[in-house]
Structure 1
Amino acid sequence: MSDNKTDTPRNSFIVLILFIGLFIISFFIIAYFVWDISPSDERLKNETEALKTTATIFGGIAVFINAYYAAKRWEAMDKSAEAANKTAKAALQNAQAAQDKQITERFAKAVEQLGNEKIETRLGAIYTLERIAKDSKDDHWTIMEVLTAFVRENAPLKDFSEKNTENTDSLIIVNTLNYQKPKEIEEKLKLQTDIQAALTVIGRRKSENELENQSLDLNNIDIRGANLIEANLQGANLIEANLQGANLIEANLQGANLNKANLQGANLNKANLQGAYLIEANLQGAYLIEANLQKANLNKANLQGTFLYKANLQGAYLNEANLQGTFLNKADLQGADLRGAENLEQQQIESAKGDRTTILPENLQPPEHWNA
């Protein structure tokens, strides 16, 4: 390689010497013929013309030679640039391979640490997985599946009716009368820190990295009292999930499946439940102030004592839903189907917003202000 670099300037120098020598020889040959053939009075003029002609010819040759070497230089530069690009591409591939290897190792270690008995180790694993999901788009959904599986495995739906000597709700009532809460009940109702952390990471994930057919599987979980403020749970499977007393303010539950879910006393203010499935869901005493329930399916849902102030129920389905004591002040019932709703009274709809598209039970009449 070094020999080729040394030969290039040497060859150029040799060509230059040959060119100058050829020019001098040619000049003297032409001058000789001009001196010998031309009359004495025209020799000087002819010599000048001959010199110009020679200079023009060799100038043209010089231009061609320069163009040739310029092309050679450009060719060499192109080859150098191509070689540099190949080197850079290889370096990038090596760096990517090293990064992929590092991500794989971090992922495997984090998944292993999820089963560690120490809470701080599990928390570290959860946040490590979140970091990997952000760094690697290809691993995003796999990590979401790992985290949802972690929640399902560690917060399964509990059945206190048969396995325990006393029902948890009954114990709470007795405990209220005694003005104290037994430690065992407090522990049962308290959501584990690592479960909450996993739910937080799931709720703030980059959903744009997911395919349309991918949905979070969080069915049959017990996450009472969970903090899911502004959580993105769009299209999530929350069938029969226990979300009693959960904080879901401004959460995105659009199209989510909450059939038979327990949302008793949950805070769903300003939550987006558009098109959500809430068939047989327990929303007793839940807060749905300014919530979007447009076209939601609430058939057979328990809405007893639910607060639906300024909620959007346009086009919602409420067949056989229990609306006893439901607070419907300024709720938008345009297009809602309430003909099969149970325990709905005239005074409840008087303060609601509706129109001719609202379908009421036969025993109720549209308020006068609906026709205004």
Structure 2
Amino acid sequence: MLDQRPLLVRQVAWVRLAFTHPATPTDHRPRTSGLRPHPHHQATTEPLKDSRTTRSTWCHGRAAIGGHRRAAGVWRRTSLLHRKAGDKTPACSHIRTAHRPVPIWAPRVCCYVHRMALGNRIRRVRSNRVALAALGALSLLGAIYLVLGPLSWLIAGDTVRTLHGKERADALTAVRQTVLAAVAGTSVLIGVGFTARTYRLSRRGQVTERFRTAIGHLASDKLAERLGAIYSLEHVMAESPEEHNTVVAVLASFIRENTKRDGLPSHGDGPPDGMRDLPAWATEPPADIRAALDVLARRPERPESRRVDLRSTTLVGLVLRDFEFNAPPRLSRVFLTWADLRRADLRGADLTRAILNGAQLCHAWLGSTRLDHAHLSDIDLRGARLDGTILLGAYLGGADLRDTHSLSAEQLSGAFIDETSRLPSELVADPWVMARLAECQAWRQQHASNEPPPPPTPRPPGYSG
């Protein structure tokens, strides 16, 4: 029975048959005229043992069936060399002689099939584009007809329908102009909306890329790259409110990991002696740590879900003074538990509601510093200057205030003090301070420890402190 399939399909079938259909055991001669097995290899019907040979056979077969032109050219040139040498066997026939050898026309047929398939694909793409263009044109014409036809008549109403002649045409034209103006305005608004959305997404991508680059430079060994990364993160925080909390957390983690304090006291031990091994004057943190703290101190005022975590850090000689900033350095709600801030200059800084439990501020300068409603339990303030420091609502239980300078009874009248607070010798017997201490003790017996402290104690009558 004759094969009724097209010639191209039959040729592809012949190529596949040449690679996959094995020869019969009784006839090892090639079925294609003019081809014979390679003289250095004997034909066999047993499966090949060598995995490399099997892989090579599969790769050559795939190259031939897939129509790779490079493989086809190599086979053709190799076959021509064999013919010149008197050998009519293709170079690839010795790879697997138990199968039919590859005819010389197989690569050419496969390339032809590949070109035919590629041409059909290109024609389908072009036809799809034409169909889409035609569909878009029909949709545009339909929208114009809908706007100028039924929609205009619907908006015109019965008033225009009762008119006749030129008056009716003029009225309908005016309605159509109004409708077209409204449609154009709506289209412009939609375009502006899409443009704004595109601009926002593009800007968001730029901010993300800058953030990623800055994070990479923050881990650099070079000081200049770390400084550039810190100031780049500041720009990202200023321009993108969505990244505010992330940038603050990254900078706080950078400070905490690079200034981690050694020798922290264990649970139940008292605070370390801050006067021991007191650092020399002009001692200050490294340049990149100072830059990160400056960025945190002048960050925008936005709602923050968490406190800035600077616990157990060594920040000896830190300088954050209000006259060096456009606004007071903002360190409110900062975690500074067990921080080493000896000889720090924090004049005018805002430490409202900060937590400095167990911190060391020996010989620190806290003039006009805001410490209202701050937690100062077990803080070491010996030798600190407290002229004008605001302590309204500050918790000073267990605080060491001995040898402080410029501390007054009026400042302590609004703070929470108890019998564990170690006060300066000149204020221990002060009437105002004693009245405040009695009021705080009575308040503690009636209220929980997490409630706000009592209001400031008024000046005692006849007080002349």
Aligned pair 1:204/2:304, yes or no? no
How many residues align? The count is 281
* Selected match of 2:352 from 254, 279, 290: 254
Q: 1:191 offset after TM fit, Å?
A: 0.9
The structure 2 residue matched to 1:190, chosen from 271, 274, 284, is: 284
- Rate the CA distance shift 1:158–1:268 in 2: closer, same or farther, 3 A: same
Partner of 2:210: 106
Shift of 1:102: 0.6
Matched, 1:145 2:249: yes
SS at match of 2:462: helix
Quick one: structure 1 residues 124 and 84, their matched pair in 2 at CA, closer, same or farther if it must change by over 3 Å? same
Q: Match for 1:223: what amino acid?
A: L
Q: CA deviation at 1:313?
A: 2.6
Partner SS for 1:336: helix
Q: Given the superposition, is the C-alpha separation of residues 338 and 262 from structure 1 closer, same or farther in structure 2, using an over 3 Å criterion? A: farther
Q: CA RMSD in A?
A: 3.7
Q: What secondary structure is seen at the aligned counterpart in 2 of 1:91?
A: helix
Residues 335 and 264 (structure 1), Cα distance of their counterparts in 2 relative to 1, 3 Å cut: same
Asked whether the 8 Å contact 1:290–1:309 carries over to 2, the reply is no
Distance 1:140 1:172, change over 3 A: closer
Q: Which segment is superposed worse, 81-90 or 105-114?
A: 81-90
1:370 correspondence with 2:370? no
- Cα distance, 1:245–1:170 mapped onto 2, change above 3 Å: closer
Task: Report the AA paired with residue 127 of structure 1.
Answer: Y
* Greater Cα shift, 300-309 or 114-123: 300-309
Q: What is the aligned-residue identity percentage?
A: 27
Indicate conservation of the 8 Å contact 1:260/1:278, yes or no: yes
Name the amino acid aligned to 1:258: L
Shift of 1:325: 4.1
User: Within 5 A, what are the aligned runs for 1:161-172?
Assistant: none
1:283 partnered with 2:376: no
CA–CA distance in structure 2, aligned partners of residues 331 and 255 of structure 1: 28
Counterpart CA distance in 1 for 2:435 and 2:235 is 45
User: Aligned residue for 2:306?
Assistant: 214
The residue matched to 2:334 in structure 1 has which SS?
coil
Q: Which of residues 403, 408, 416 is equivalent to 1:317?
A: 416
1:304–1:325 CA contact under 8 A, matched in 2: yes
Q: TM-score normalised to the size of structure 1?
A: 0.66
The answer on whether the counterparts of 1:282 and 1:301 sit within 8 Å (CA) in structure 2 is yes
Larger mean CA deviation between 319-328 and 101-110 belongs to 319-328
In the alignment, what sits opposite 2:437? 337
Q: Are 1:74 and 2:168 an aligned pair?
A: no
Match in the other structure for 1:306: 404
**Alignment equivalent of 2:317, drawn from 219, 225, 237:** 225
Distance in 1 between residues matched to 2:278 and 2:464, nearest whole Å: 47
Q: Name structure 1 gaps, 5 residues minimum.
A: 12-58, 162-166, 174-180, 342-355, 359-365
CA 1:152–1:270 in 2, change beyond 3 Å: closer, same or farther? Answer: same
Q: Is the Cα contact below 8 Å between 1:116 and 1:122 reproduced in 2?
A: yes
Query: What secondary structure is seen at the aligned counterpart in 2 of 1:214?
Result: coil
Cα 1:172/1:214, change in 2 over 3 Å: closer
**Shift, 1:61, TM fit:** 3.9
Task: Report SS of the residue matched to 2:294.
Answer: helix
Q: Give the residue type in structure 2 aligned to 1:155.
A: T
Note closer, same or farther for the CA distance 1:332–1:146 as it changes in structure 2 (3 Å cut).
Answer: farther
Structure 1 residue 309 displacement after superposition: 4.6
Deviation at 1:92? 1.2
1:274 — aligned with what? 372
